[in-house]
Structure 1
């Protein structure tokens, strides 16, 4: 029960203050004049003023509320090192039991800091704030953090805690721990394919000094550098950017004797390879309706540097035109096909036939260019089946089919079984209907002895598009010159942009379009394994986490030619996957994860904040096991720790369940008081 007096004036406060002021003036005059009965008059006037203030006796029925203490348990990956997991479990059990023995104290336990592939660092104070979000600050008795001391969201000052109560840190781990790590000091995010990028790194040892370690550098799993460094030494390595997409660079140091974990002995950098310019040489034969289709496609891509030559008039044509007027510029055949041929990523022959412009020896150069890693695309028309066909040159050794004639009849292009799986043709818009939802072609070149299965078929099921590999290079053969009908929108057109762009990028070895590939992707909190294949089945994939744990995944068929499986990406660092033939790498999280930057336990990070709140930071374990301090309820003190004990701040918060009110001047009691006061005044005046 709480008792008190409340005032609810019967008149506005202005009137009440004026009345009090008048009473004070009258009292002063009566006292100065030493008037007889002044004190009686003043008492009567005071009772009138008090009646106007309308005082009431109050009685509150209050129910006490419990104080709330939070226990935040660090479940970050660094808590798995050494005996920390065991120490954490024992400290949690003992702490919660001690807190529950305190009468009037509610205990809330929350786990925080789990790594999910997206969160970097241990965030305990965010979890603490969420756990106490529905608790008024005047009910918070304190907080206990069970952690290794490496917390990455510590408030800058006490006000950032959000309540005025002690924060205690119970530190797991042992003194004098030692660990080694590789720290990346600078690393590029992007690099031009064919050029080099520099990564700078440092060897850091905690708990020891002067140690030396062997450091190996690997790119996409291949060792490219090995050296010996001393603790604290900074070094750098030049990385050749070999391909588009992620170039995974691992920098790994040899283990330190007695260290906590080898996980952070390895740092991973993913450098995205981009091409500065894709140099394409387009050689068009005799002018035809579809000539500009290729030119428009390639010129629309800002990443393509196009060199285009069109043979408008063959040398054997005799019409009296002067030699110096046969072309705007001379065709630099020797420069293009002998001196600078290796500078091109792709050479396209668009309805080109031998016309004496290119000597036969240059076709031999082109064949060697393909085997060494170059790419050639032949867009064939009747020229390919003629006596002047480029097949009848040394280039035939890298062309995937021999021409035998030309068929002139309308037909719909279809995706073959291989084409439905191949990344170049898979999922082309309109291919799912029968007939396909695109316009017809009217001519195709007949071939024989094709190398590999066609991805598209034409009239009578004959090959229409062949994609083949020769040596290190690639060749595409399109056996119709009517692709321009799709571009012009004839009969609704067709997906020419998708087809031609994918085909060009496949020839230039874009990794996303490889027929056989194993990839790792991060989608939300999951790690997704993708296997692209032309086969009917795939082998299980073994996935290795950054900590070295392995798991075998059975892939499930998705789209044709694509198999997938997913698992939680619950660790930061380098993940690896292999099916025995192919290997894939991916780095989950930042280059330098905060969680693994410093893994030795410490009281130094949390002690300043804890002591500023009246709490303390101390270890929970000694050499013999967990030794938790006594937990004490404290009501009136600014210090909540001492030798062998930690305190919680017990609150006196309560909630009102009922209120009783008794007006003093209401009814008969008020009337008698006022009448008595005036009667006393009259009696005093009557003497």
Structure 2
């Protein structure tokens, strides 16, 4: 019976010499024997053999004594060896292909063999485990008959990982190694063991399972022909897409065991049908199609593809797939208007025109209405007709940035400009960007200080004439950190770079900063502002009160950025104005846009101040929730010294999740950031739920187990060993090398050799 006190005696070795001395000792013994053989030259062969043999026998007996012969006396309790029935609890076991689900077939098998299992329980420590996401023990009375008869073997494991389950058995048994394991599975393993079999066959399984020190017998459940199934096996998108540019979604579908007919796949975005296409399958049951869409705005776009479930489809869950793609701006659309050509206009236009990421629309007015007389008042005098009514009404929203470079509406018309200027103001408030560059037709010279446009400008605009004298642009304290004026990242080097810039000539007077306005540079140290920026409503504006920055682009000027600083400065300005992602005050980044259910989501929030220095200790609050509603997971924390907060969140629900964060200290809407991701419940074994008998067979052969065949095998066939072992409570080692009789045995061959040599007259 289990628990009887027993005593076992076994023979063991306890060497008297360290391992390193065995080889040298053997070499010394061989040398002595060789010398003995050489010293007996001239004697008859039988005498030489007798002498050398006696000495060799003595060395052999000495080696046995030095090996430390001992007896191991073990006292303990007799226990039954564990016999483990390991049942696959992954989701593929819920597939219907064998008169019901595979897990149902296991439950019925358990019920039919109740008697066999109770017999095994008398001889072994019978254990049942379900291998899902974790090893879950199942008592005998739980497995039989209740769960078995009701067919309720759990199948909620996200994926099959037989290797992890087998290697975890010893820990689940409290450190005891099982004597026998019967693995009941469909073999649909896509984890390490399955990959090893796919890559290297039985040899790969043997290498991976070498650490298992117990036999694993297997019984496969499921139909080898596989379930009848229509499955979306792959839906891929590029890493990102572009606004108003074609985006390709590649769909791959397989059909197994179903009548070959045409199916229809439907693509949806935010619940609305975007496209449909027919699926035609080849001889292998495969179909591949491409969907093409054109996202019309930046941000995260989620696309869903679904196929109606045909009759007889065993796995309807794989007939739908969802992906999320981040859509970014392809090319920045900029409208540049100026009252007349100039060096400053030429250099900025050339910079914008040669940038492949910019789509530039530029207009020049060659003569103003006063200089052109009646002819100018009768028509447009730009290089092409200036469609100002369309540009500043219906077309305005199509631009990311509007630039007035030394521009005045009176340059080409006497019609009131109030409506057009008001439209630009409203365009900025709704999220547009506006840049005004100085000159004799700009700022106060053009009376913009009394126009609706003044409401969104960074500074007040006094009604004052331009100042014509050279000056050096000097960064303000905010300008030393702001991304617009960051020619190099290091603060000291950036300040030195600005000090080396060529002088500028002339500026338009600017007034005091308006609410939210930030002065970036002044005309000389402590002088009047010449560059300022502002966040106005949902948009941004910038004032740069001189038209001589072209001097920064001239070759031959001095300084480390000679000839480059003009382009760096204006590119920085444009990126900030159009709210490039890297220039937002609150930035939210996910480590990817598509997750598998259960994968951790890494959410990184970065917060910057108005001058774009890191905002340490900023309070961040937010939430993660499924698109369309549901329970939300809160996000809360404080940024570190670098203005960053990183949070790891579980992906616990399938579908599209929206991550939102708010920083209360940053004014709306710039204190808000949002991202989106798709969480899929699609598993590899659901994409291909066919059984893998070859994998199970290889596992049994590699571990010395048996392959049980048929649909109703006897579980007793997988039992190995006697069923009992001893759980030691006391062990005692007794040495034999110090016994007197063993020393006598060692002396006998030495004495016999001495006596023989004397009789032969040898020394």
1:481 lines up with 2:535 in the alignment? no
- The aligned residue for residue 54 of structure 2 is 47
1:16 lines up with 2:33 in the alignment? yes
Q: Judging by fraction of residues, say which structure has more strand.
A: 1
1:240 lines up with 2:294 in the alignment? yes
Find the aligned partners of 2:438 and 2:382 in 1 and give their Cα distance: 23
The Cα shift of 1:151 comes to 0.9
- The aligned residue for residue 266 of structure 1 is 320
- The aligned residue for residue 201 of structure 1 is 251
1:182 lines up with 2:232 in the alignment? yes
Highest RCO, 1 vs 2 (Cα 8 Å, sep ≥ 6): 1
1:544 lines up with 2:620 in the alignment? no
Q: Which blocks of at least 5 consecutive residues in structure 2 are unaligned?
A: 1-9, 16-21, 136-156, 373-380, 467-473, 490-497, 500-506, 521-526, 553-565, 594-598, 608-618, 661-671
Counterpart contact for 1:367–1:398, Cα < 8 Å = no
- The aligned residue for residue 650 of structure 2 is 569
The Cα shift of 1:444 comes to 7.4
Change (3 A) 1:466 1:98: farther
Counterpart contact for 2:243–2:296, Cα < 8 Å = yes
- The aligned residue for residue 323 of structure 1 is none
Q: Judging by fraction of residues, say which structure has more helix.
A: 2
Counterpart contact for 2:443–2:508, Cα < 8 Å = no
Find the aligned partners of 1:676 and 1:9 in 2 and give their Cα distance: 23
- The aligned residue for residue 161 of structure 1 is 209
- The aligned residue for residue 716 of structure 2 is 630
1:436-515 pair list within 5 angstroms: 467=535, 476-478=540-542, 481=545, 504-505=574-575, 508=578
Change (3 A) 1:61 1:457: same
The Cα shift of 1:167 comes to 3.4
Find the aligned partners of 2:89 and 2:41 in 1 and give their Cα distance: 70
1:217-296 pair list within 5 angstroms: 217-227=267-277, 229=279, 232=285, 233-244=287-298, 246-256=300-310, 262-283=316-337
1:82-161 pair list within 5 angstroms: 122-125=160-163, 128=166, 145=183, 147-152=185-190, 153=192, 154=194, 155=196, 156-157=201-202, 158-161=206-209
Match of 1:388 among 446, 459, 483: 446
TM-score (norm 2): 0.54
Per-residue Cα deviation, 1:600-627 (whole angstroms, up to 9, x for no partner): 46253533423533545679998xxxx9
Per-residue Cα deviation, 1:516-540 (whole angstroms, up to 9, x for no partner): 99987659813659899xxxx9999
Partner SS, residue 551 of structure 1: coil
The Cα shift of 1:403 comes to 6.4
1:352 lines up with 2:407 in the alignment? yes
Change (3 A) 1:296 1:219: same
Match of 1:609 among 698, 716, 720: 698
Partner SS, residue 248 of structure 1: strand
**How big is the alpha-carbon RMSD for the aligned residues of Structure 1 and Structure 2?**
7.3
The Cα shift of 1:237 comes to 1.7
The Cα shift of 1:348 comes to 1.4
- The aligned residue for residue 60 of structure 1 is 70
Per-residue Cα deviation, 1:357-380 (whole angstroms, up to 9, x for no partner): 689799989998997999551326
TM-score (norm 1): 0.59
- The aligned residue for residue 639 of structure 1 is none
Counterpart contact for 1:141–1:648, Cα < 8 Å = no
The Cα shift of 1:267 comes to 1.9
Deviates more, 1:226-235 or 1:244-253: 226-235
Find the aligned partners of 2:463 and 2:28 in 1 and give their Cα distance: 114
1:587-598 pair list within 5 angstroms: 587-588=678-679, 594-598=684-688
Partner SS, residue 204 of structure 1: strand
The Cα shift of 1:224 comes to 0.5
The Cα shift of 1:199 comes to 2.8
Counterpart contact for 1:215–1:252, Cα < 8 Å = yes
- The aligned residue for residue 641 of structure 1 is none
Change (3 A) 1:386 1:498: same
Change (3 A) 1:110 1:75: closer
- The aligned residue for residue 2 of structure 1 is 11
The Cα shift of 1:597 comes to 1.6
- The aligned residue for residue 633 of structure 2 is 553
Per-residue Cα deviation, 1:190-233 (whole angstroms, up to 9, x for no partner): 44432213333244345533466543202354420134546744
